[in-house]
Amino acid sequence: MITKAIVDRLKEIVGPENVLTQREDMLTYSYDAAVLDAKMPAAAVMPGNTEEIGDVVTVCHENSIPLTVRGAGTNLSGGTIPENTGLVMLTGRLNKIIEINEADMYAVVQPGVVTATLAAAVEAKGLFYPPDPGSQAVSTLGGNVAENAGGLRGLKYGVTKDYVMGLRFFDARGNYVKTGSRTVKCATGYNITGLMVGSEGTLGVLDEITLKLIPAPAARHSLVAVYDTIDQASETVAAIIAARIVPATLEILDNFTIRAVEDFSKAGLPVEAAALLLIEVDGHPAVVKEEGEKVEALCKKMGAASINVAQTDEERDKIWAARRSALSALAKLKPTLVLEDATVPRSKIPDMVKSLQEIAERYQIDIGTFGHAGDGNLHPTILTDKRNTEEFHRVEAAIEEIFDRALALGGTLSGEHGTGIAKAPFLEKEAGYSSILFSRQLRAALDPKNILNPGKITGVSTD
């Protein structure tokens, strides 16, 4: 329990203005972007530096207080929904870019730095930080690392885990742990960095993060291909990969999404089309030209009804604006939006798309599908109104079936949104009981009092 004495101690550590306990404020830290029931914490703190983070963790350890770290609270799996008796640690004040090292191509940041802020700072120096989740304008790098966030460029450039070189974090007892290095190679000790990426605040509180940077691509080439059947689109994806071309981005929009985007943005999209592929290749100008032509030829060969190549930066922006507005356009249709991210091996995209259509029909619900076709990570987006309990039950059943189909196709429950609370009950289906047991033992050993974000990933909350 967070007693008055503990609140006073927290105020000593971070300053009274950075400790919140009023019920109104607690309500605002009771939810994130996942469609789950909210849960109010007992208090929230905003530390301003490493020492303060450490002291707060120590207070939690000494008093067995559940601790949930919150970045921008945009995760889609309930990772920041706290315990009622718990403390929420906000990283909003920890938002400094400590270093951008051009010679060795890395950046060191505090965990509360916003993804897009780093991307812009790095770009200004001619470098590139590729992971670009759709939420990058607000998401924090701490949240990205803790969720192993992906983005549109995953196919060629990988996801957050491919860019984390080193971390500094506080473990459950308040000890400061340093992992990884600022070198490209590092072979000392366990790969604790790898373990921490995607750990959703259950193994430690991230402080400094060292991220790999790469040179910015010199040229880009974007196109849109229009298809009469979704199979032709999926087959094009397979053909591009088979031709050993790795586009930076290879996205698909289904008919439902195309119509929603067109209604919303009047961008002139073909509303009759069954699917659109949005493709971008980047790199050395000569290679980009060659690959661009090959991709175009493949789209034609696989039956694209038409192809539109961006000739100018403006046209390129227009293509990607259509993709970026997919979620907004769908969100406007109904009050509740459940954004899933079940992922399958990319050769199985046609089967997955078909499954989604069947599921939508069987459960009589609206599903718009778009996403990262190139890496098998689709975003079936279910539109509903959670106040309509009868329909919401059907939605839940449909989600479970989406999971089952993805697993049957050799896929995973989540490509990038994490386990959190939302997928914890289903994890065993994917990984098996031994894997859950191993994870629980790992946690128990590192965090005997179970204070670090209880209930996430491995299930079992303390409340």
Ligand X SMILES: Cc1cc2nc3c(=O)[nH]c(=O)nc-3n(C[C@H](O)[C@H](O)[C@H](O)COP(=O)(O)OP(=O)(O)OC[C@H]3O[C@@H](n4cnc5c(N)ncnc54)[C@H](O)[C@@H]3O)c2cc1C
Binding residues for another protein (CB under 8 A) = 20, 22-25, 27-33, 38, 46, 72-74, 90, 92-93, 95, 112, 114, 116, 135, 137-138, 327-328, 331-332, 335-337, 385, 387
387 binds, among ligand X, another protein, none (CB under 5 to 8 A by kind): another protein
Pick the closer one to ligand X by CB: 144 or 236: 144
Residue 288 binds: one of ligand X, another protein, none (C-beta under 5 to 8 A by kind):
none
Nearer to another protein, 217 or 420 (CB): 420
Beta-carbon contacts of residue 32 (< 8 Å; ≥ 6 apart): 70, 73, 74, 75, 76, 78, 79, 80, 81
Q: 231-257 b/e with 16+ CB inside 10 Å = b?
A: bbbbbbbbbbbeeebebbbbbbbbbbb
Largest CA distance in the chain: 72
Site stretch for ligand X (CB under 6 A), options 97-105, 116-124, 144-152, 422-430 = 144-152
Q: Is there binding between residue 198 and ligand X (CB under 6 A)? A: no
**145 to 24, 46, 51, 108, 458: CA distances (angstroms):** 29, 20, 21, 13, 18
Chosen from another protein, ligand X, none, partner binding at 28 (C-beta under 5 to 8 Å by type):
another protein
Q: Report what 335 binds from ligand X, another protein, none; CB cut-off 5-8 Å by kind.
A: another protein
Of 33, 45, 260, 451, which lies in the binding site for ligand X, with binding defined by CB under 6 A? Answer: 33
Binding residue (CB under 6 A) for ligand X from 107, 146, 164, 349: 146
Query: Which segments within 244-335 are labelled E, that is strand?
Result: 249-254, 275-283, 306-309
Question: Which DSSP letter does residue 297 get?
Answer: H
| Least separation in angstroms between CB 137 and another protein | 4
User: Minimal distance in Å, beta carbon 285 to another protein?
Assistant: 30
* Site membership for ligand X, residue 151 (CB under 6 A): yes
- Residue 323 as a binder of ligand X (CB under 6 A): the answer is no
By CB under 6 A, the count of residues binding ligand X is 37
Q: Interhelix angle for 389-408 vs 349-362, to 10°?
A: 160
Candidate list 70, 156, 221, 323; residue touching ligand X; CB under 6 A? 70
Residue 424 interacting with ligand X (CB under 6 A):
no
3-class secondary structure for 95-158?
CCEEEEECCCCEEEECCCCEHHHHHHHHHCCCEECCCCCCCCCCCEHHHHHHHCCCCCCHHHHC
- What is residue 262's three-state secondary structure? helix
Taking the mean position of all CA atoms in its chain, how far away is CA 202?
17
Q: Least separation, in Å, of the C-beta of 176 and another protein?
A: 24
In terms of Cβ atoms closer than 10 Å to its own Cβ (0-12, 13-18, 19+), residue 66 is buried
The answer to whether residue 144 forms part of the interface with ligand X (CB under 6 A) is yes
How far is it, in rounded angstroms, from Cα 396 to Cα 306? 38
82 contacts ligand X (rule: CB under 6 A): no
- Binding residues (CB under 6 A) for ligand X: these are 32-33, 68-76, 79-80, 91, 111, 133-135, 139-140, 142-144, 146-147, 149-151, 200-201, 205-206, 327, 416-417, 453, 456
